[in-house]
Structure 1
């Protein structure tokens, strides 16, 4: 193993001395010195969680952990918080273990004063002393006019281009001017949100939704935790999330609504704590935990709630979580009809074994081969209205997260038409929330994506003059306009496959066949063969072209992009959302609007 000749701290001091001497020399000689404003982070054997530059809501609970990776066990670990020993500062004894991975941990602590926090970690090893300097910020900011309720809409993967595609199909465009705007377009505040996690430039939905839910970065596949080095995905240092804070400090009602499996990344991140998003059986049962049990749960994914003896179940035990929710006073709905007639109060609605079918398949084609026995699924507007009607009965207010999940899932399969209809569906749900907010004036509404996809509009596509394939992609002045039509004025095009459609290209894709046309049945772009992703022949009708992939052959689907994403907001506290924001700032905008204070505990 390579060992540097000087410690990380010594290297840092050496570099600072070199820069200082260079500046002095330039002053004396009149020459100019240039140096980089940014350099890659220094590698350290001391891993501190939460990470450097983390931000906290005042009183927000978290686990403080340190890992020391050395060839031989560390000899001592000392931690100072604002100059005071951490155990005294937090009023709790640390659990310390000395091994090749030495650890120091104090669980369930909080910062009770706003301002800067300086942490110094001194580690004694066989090679000498190692130090880490960590800085945190603690905020107690509250909006001048506070919100009683917050509704957070997450269009999963709904990049700026996805919004634009939805607007073109839903509103149309004439002589360069849109005939109308989406509900999410006509909001008072606009911001650009960065999306990276603490481990990678490109994020996934668990990591990015967790930033919205906690105000903290984490790693790909993780939610509500800082990923440590242990094998157990459930023991990583936790950070209190928005549902826990809303319930604990304000006694608010809470809800999660999604067109995905309700234990999938985005809805789960609002309440769960795990390093591995695939732990969906655990997430389902953890939803019963009173600390973060939502009052309204609507979406797909009944397979994680049904005992293993029931066909379609994915559980490995005989727990019947649906029955357990009923014991907690929840009304259970399994289809749209039952949702409409559900009694007021706590509500669990599970409308598919896995992800709900997308809008086109549910509401337009209604193909029984696609829907199977789930022919009576509610749409996102139905679920959003029911959730608002139920949660708004609490005089303490509510927090509701609504996810248009299949924008992302359809872009992964390079099915932009299905993604566009689901974008419009989410926008219709935003309209329902805006109508509620108009009547009350006390609700903050936020619409944002968690990450982007590499889909972009090149122009239009048609074969009216006999051209096919790439020659039928119309660019610049030849593009003209699409022929999507909405004769009943419901915002959804009559036909997803008009004579002139959009030419949507993807920047990050596997090998696949492209013919630019709507697929009557959802079909994956690639399949795995001999360990490699190859173009799916089922997407190769006459006139299609083989597009050579530009991502590793280990992935048979289109993948996320690192692009920033748009956010729009209106209502009390919306003024926070402007300019370029880190994704963690969405949480602080919500907390600020609600006036949350983690030091308080609501009366029960």
Structure 2
């Protein structure tokens, strides 16, 4: 039995109890849930623009590691702080979803972008039990609210595929985050369409006749976006050319078929075998600069989401150095936003993570001497000393991710895997799946001959998993004081909306029957947040 209410709104702020019951051949079931409808406190200076940075999986270890490597530390004091460290306010965010204390990126980012809890793999919906991922009841996203009520521009920049969970959650609705083709269809809808949309994921836009396409039809979505007024860039060089030719009103960039390569593999030790045909990818800083140039053209303001996606994508296979370098890259993009907003009093900057991860920093690791067990080269307490990373060109990134003394990364959860504790020139998965048993086994190509680390995850898991601890949130600009406390992830949405001055109108939208047609809601252009 499926019942969907469309255009349903509540008359005023408060607590509402929703009771549902069903009788079927499988039996009877009932449940009550409470909805808290929030009237945002919109007092104080209002923001016109919001720049929202999301470090995927960016727990405290990633932030601390980035500060050590990028800024340096002398006799126990940091030589300088990260850009995010110097934002005006700092708090913490809890990240659990409705179905589990352990969240995924879709579920947690959806909470940031809707103010509603959801379930693992779901975004922009109350998750239902239908096999159709589009059947779950939808809730309005940040993009939809701001486009409908303020005619603001929406920007999305990511180092992941543009259809991945975090970027998609800004505008999309689905019970299953892997529905990349449907997510792209939603991105072409006027009420959801981003004005800037950059990252990887070209495979979902190409017609099936083109190499690398994952489509099963002849649609060319790059051309469809162009028909809607988008300028297009497929490489770093093309992006620079597009911006040099005159700032476009809308901008689409897809720079790889899948995810962008991580910073180490793009910029520090580029490997043609790793990069393949995509040797000319822009970085997060370049994409953020371009996005700001496009979005600032709208005098009604903008919402820009910038994701450092491969912090998480490096932590899953237990690769600390790659995660930390990508954290530095995200922080430098924060610096670009701060520079852009300097001298203005109308822009809220927020930096946070969607969930924590298993990575920790236990001390230092000295590259093993021949015949010496790698484990014995892990220094803790006084034996740790300090790492020997160097940044000779002053770009904020150590020149060599594999110095004689480097960070010793530990992991709270992992499969059985070999580990020599040193940086891997090429990323290697810690474990692989045996198709016959559907269980994981240590990857023999990763650190062969090194110490086998006995895992603690279920036997089918090949990578480490997200953890449940709170994450940090940083903010500056109008309304930033709202973030200086412990927030549930749904409350972040409301804090952003309050900073923008969005609030429930004084007149009621409810008819006597308790609901109102979608057309009537849209016609009233109501700044409804709930």
Q: Higher relative CO (CA 8 A, sep ≥ 6), structure 1 or 2?
A: 2
Q: Secondary structure at the match of 1:284?
A: helix
Alignment of structure 1 residues 253-268 onto 2, 5 Å: 253-268=153-168
Task: Tell whether the 8 Å contact from 1:111 to 1:138 is kept in structure 2 after alignment.
Answer: no
Aligned mate of 2:413, from 476, 488, 508 = 508
Residues 138 and 234 of structure 1, relative CA distance in 2, 3 Å threshold: same
Aligned mate of 1:451, from 355, 380, 386 = 355
Tell me whether 1:106 sits opposite 2:30 in the alignment.
no
Counterpart for residue 356 of structure 1: 260
Alignment of structure 1 residues 193-592 onto 2, 5 Å: 193-342=93-242, 343-344=246-247, 345-463=249-367, 467-529=372-434, 530=436, 531-542=438-449, 544-592=450-498
Structure 1 unaligned runs (5+)?
A: 1-101
> Hey, what's the Cα distance between the residues in 2 that align with 1:400 and 1:459?
37
Residues 135 and 585 of structure 1, relative CA distance in 2, 3 Å threshold: closer
Q: Secondary structure at the match of 1:106?
A: coil
Query: If you compute each CA radius of gyration, which structure gives the higher value, 1 or 2?
Result: 1
> Hey, what's the Cα distance between the residues in 2 that align with 1:166 and 1:184?
11
> Hey, what's the Cα distance between the residues in 1 that align with 2:498 and 2:5?
27
CA offsets per residue over residues 510-536 of structure 1, 9 Å max, x none? Answer: 111111111111211111123111111
State which drifts further: 511-520 or 491-500: 511-520
> Hey, what's the Cα distance between the residues in 2 that align with 1:364 and 1:128?
60
TM-score (normalised: structure 2): 0.91
Q: 1:125 offset after TM fit, Å?
A: 10
> Hey, what's the Cα distance between the residues in 1 that align with 2:54 and 2:379?
33
> Hey, what's the Cα distance between the residues in 2 that align with 1:474 and 1:128?
59
Counterpart for residue 517 of structure 2: none
Q: Secondary structure at the match of 2:455?
A: coil
Q: Secondary structure at the match of 1:448?
A: strand
CA offsets per residue over residues 519-569 of structure 1, 9 Å max, x none? Answer: 111211111123111111111245x21111110121211111111101111
> Hey, what's the Cα distance between the residues in 1 that align with 2:30 and 2:263?
56
Task: Tell whether the 8 Å contact from 1:249 to 1:597 is kept in structure 2 after alignment.
Answer: no
Task: Tell whether the 8 Å contact from 1:285 to 1:305 is kept in structure 2 after alignment.
Answer: no
Q: 1:103 offset after TM fit, Å?
A: 4.3
Q: 1:131 offset after TM fit, Å?
A: 7.7
Residues 514 and 121 of structure 1, relative CA distance in 2, 3 Å threshold: closer
> Hey, what's the Cα distance between the residues in 2 that align with 1:168 and 1:113?
49
> Hey, what's the Cα distance between the residues in 1 that align with 2:120 and 2:71?
36
> Hey, what's the Cα distance between the residues in 2 that align with 1:129 and 1:547?
45
Residues 602 and 113 of structure 1, relative CA distance in 2, 3 Å threshold: closer
Task: Tell whether the 8 Å contact from 2:15 to 2:34 is kept in structure 1 after alignment.
Answer: no
Q: Secondary structure at the match of 1:370?
A: helix
Structure 2 unaligned runs (5+)?
A: 506-523
> Hey, what's the Cα distance between the residues in 2 that align with 1:463 and 1:112?
65
Task: Tell whether the 8 Å contact from 1:417 to 1:518 is kept in structure 2 after alignment.
Answer: yes
Considering only aligned residues, what root-mean-square deviation do their CA atoms show, in Å?
2.0
Q: 1:128 offset after TM fit, Å?
A: 11
> Hey, what's the Cα distance between the residues in 2 that align with 1:137 and 1:493?
48
Number of equivalenced pairs: 501
Q: Secondary structure at the match of 2:342?
A: helix
Task: Tell whether the 8 Å contact from 1:203 to 1:560 is kept in structure 2 after alignment.
Answer: yes
Alignment of structure 1 residues 132-143 onto 2, 5 Å: 132=32, 134-143=34-43
Task: Tell whether the 8 Å contact from 2:126 to 2:138 is kept in structure 1 after alignment.
Answer: yes
Task: Tell whether the 8 Å contact from 1:255 to 1:296 is kept in structure 2 after alignment.
Answer: yes
Residues 128 and 560 of structure 1, relative CA distance in 2, 3 Å threshold: closer
State which drifts further: 226-235 or 378-387: 226-235
> Hey, what's the Cα distance between the residues in 2 that align with 1:492 and 1:130?
55
Runs of 4+ in 1 over 2 A off after TM superposition: 102-105, 111-138, 463-468, 597-600
CA offsets per residue over residues 388-444 of structure 1, 9 Å max, x none? Answer: 111011110000000000000000111111111100000000000001111322110
Q: Secondary structure at the match of 2:489?
A: coil
Task: Tell whether the 8 Å contact from 1:123 to 1:131 is kept in structure 2 after alignment.
Answer: no
Q: 1:115 offset after TM fit, Å?
A: 3.2
Q: 1:132 offset after TM fit, Å?
A: 3.7
Task: Tell whether the 8 Å contact from 2:200 to 2:260 is kept in structure 1 after alignment.
Answer: yes
Q: 1:121 offset after TM fit, Å?
A: 5.7
> Hey, what's the Cα distance between the residues in 1 that align with 2:36 and 2:28?
27
CA offsets per residue over residues 36-93 of structure 1, 9 Å max, x none? Answer: xxxxxxxxxxxxxxxxxxxxxxxxxxxxxxxxxxxxxxxxxxxxxxxxxxxxxxxxxx
Alignment of structure 1 residues 5-154 onto 2, 5 Å: 102-119=1-18, 132=32, 134-154=34-54
Task: Tell whether the 8 Å contact from 2:138 to 2:173 is kept in structure 1 after alignment.
Answer: yes
Residues 232 and 123 of structure 1, relative CA distance in 2, 3 Å threshold: closer
CA offsets per residue over residues 353-409 of structure 1, 9 Å max, x none? Answer: 000011111111111111111111000000001001110111100000000000000
Q: Secondary structure at the match of 2:207?
A: coil
Task: Tell whether the 8 Å contact from 2:42 to 2:503 is kept in structure 1 after alignment.
Answer: no
CA offsets per residue over residues 457-501 of structure 1, 9 Å max, x none? Answer: 111111477643211111111110000111111110010000001
Q: 1:448 offset after TM fit, Å?
A: 0.3
Counterpart for residue 77 of structure 2: 177
